[in-house]
Structure 1
Amino acid sequence: MRILIIADVHGNWEALRAVVNEPHDHLIFLGDAVDFGPEPRLCVDYLRSHATWGVRGNHDHGIAFDTGCRCYGAWKAWDDATRVHTLRTLSSEDRQYLRSLPMTHRLTVGQVSFALVHAAPTDPLYRYLPADAPDDVVADELRVAGADVLLVGHTHIPMIRRIGERLVVNPGSVGMPRDGGSGACFAVWEDGRVELRRASYDVEATVRRLQDQQLPQDVYDGIAALLQAP
């Protein structure tokens, strides 16, 4: 069984479309379909139809329940500016789908148990679990997760961490990677092994559609620069 693991799509349809071209039997979505990118509705509609399992991210939660995403700095400005487009674009059915996503989910594939959460088991929507987190912090999150494999997103940076016999996997961000690399990040689980991958996509098409939103210049420049990172 081949499982595609994705997170942090953020309205980037071109990136999502490239990633899901990867052959797979099931799709796991770890939250944040919306905000920042120009095509949130296409992304939400695809995930609603094709994600086998999914959880709610902080941006999904914000759109679904009319609350803040708890972003800071430039990311807060980007969220405020692009949320107008997100709210205008999504249908009531789209928002209901985001509301329906659980904050955590558990499943078993073969003999392996998985815990799914956007941020961290101790704080499903907002806590960051970075790649360089101390072992005791990661071990505590694994203890709360109570699974062989903990799948998280939120940081936009891919990682695989092993603590004893357990794994923490972050596939990175499909739509807004923050690790300085190009392409859309994702992970593949197959036959008890996980691999981090990247997919090339038409970044300039996303940037052109972003320009159509008539965002404040500093917001457009910031998001475009992140998308166009070499």
Structure 2
Amino acid sequence: MRYLVLSDIHGNWPALEAVLEEAPPFDRVLFLGDAVGYYPDGDRVLAWLEEVGAECVLGNHDAWLLALDRLPQEGAVMEILAWQRERLSPRALSFLASWPWQKEVEGALLVHGSPCDPLEYVDDLAVAREAFRCAENRLAFHGHTHLAGAFLELRGPRPWVRYQAFPEGGELLLPPSVRALLNPGSVGQPRDGVPGAAFALWEGDEVRFYRVAYPVERVAARLEEEGFPPWLYQRLLLGQ
């Protein structure tokens, strides 16, 4: 079984379209959270995830959108989420609300942040070591940081953890003695300095990381059309 692994689409439909055009054939989709937020087309993203029967877990933006009536409505992020919620159908909201914080697929754990806390950023070795202690799975897929890469743990009496970044793609083969926390990077808003849409393919002990270019001017046009702040476009140009 070959899985297309996606995270942090954030309503960026042109980026997702590029992924689907460039990705090699796959059997199923794993989505690690944050379908909404930042960019205008969260409705189209959710419709596609439901259509393909994606295995999905909640991200922080997804959870914030669902809980907007209980959260302060200040700042650009919350204003965007409120705008998106007004435009989501009851079906889309129900689909989003059905996502759990964590789930397992073929023995791999799916979570948005850390296995210890789905809202925690796994962004350094200390956090990664604790994350490995919170999960028994050999493989865990996460997003949230918008950084493509893998924390690898070599098992033993004193486990050794290292990090390998994949900002421009690459291949990772996992020996039986290694556990991994794998982040495919962000489809909709990468933050590792490399523009483009990031994703991964997982099959057995092999994970391939990809970064594909797409016409970001289409996103700029959508932002202008809906009156979104222009800094959202600038971030895409910088990969930040």
What TM-score, normalized by structure 2, do the two folds share?
0.83
Give the AA of the match of 1:5.
V
- Aligned pair in 2 of structure 1 residues 67, 179: CA closer, same or farther (>3 Å)? farther
2:95 pairs with one of 68, 91, 97: 97
Contact 2:65 2:82 in 1 (8 A): no
Give the AA of the match of 2:121.
Y
- Aligned pair in 2 of structure 1 residues 153, 209: CA closer, same or farther (>3 Å)? same
Name the structure 1 match of 2:138. Answer: 148
* Alpha-carbon RMSD: 1.8
Name the structure 2 match of 1:59. Answer: 61
1:214 pairs with one of 227, 231, 234: 227
- Give the deviation of 1:67 after TM superposition: 5.8
2:120 pairs with one of 127, 131, 136: 127
Name the structure 2 match of 1:73. Answer: none
- Aligned pair in 2 of structure 1 residues 213, 190: CA closer, same or farther (>3 Å)? same
1:163 pairs with one of 149, 153, 163: 153
- Aligned pair in 2 of structure 1 residues 180, 78: CA closer, same or farther (>3 Å)? farther
Contiguous gaps of at least 5 residues in structure 1: 71-75
Name the structure 2 match of 1:225. Answer: 234
2:34 aligned with 1:32, yes or no?
A: yes
Contact 1:120 1:128 in 2 (8 A): yes
2:77 aligned with 1:79, yes or no?
A: yes
Name the structure 2 match of 1:205. Answer: 218
Contiguous gaps of at least 5 residues in structure 2: 155-177
1:186 pairs with one of 185, 195, 199: 199
Contact 1:36 1:223 in 2 (8 A): yes
- Give the deviation of 1:7 after TM superposition: 0.3
- Give the deviation of 1:38 after TM superposition: 1.4
What percentage of residue pairs aligned between the two structures are identical? 33
CA distance in 2, matches of 1:119, 1:223: 22
CA distance in 2, matches of 1:210, 1:4: 27
Name the structure 1 match of 2:109. Answer: 115
Contact 1:40 1:89 in 2 (8 A): no
Contact 2:57 2:100 in 1 (8 A): yes
What TM-score, normalized by structure 1, do the two folds share?
0.86
Contact 1:185 1:198 in 2 (8 A): yes
CA distance in 2, matches of 1:212, 1:67: 26
- Give the deviation of 1:68 after TM superposition: 7.5
Contact 1:31 1:57 in 2 (8 A): yes
- Give the deviation of 1:146 after TM superposition: 1.3
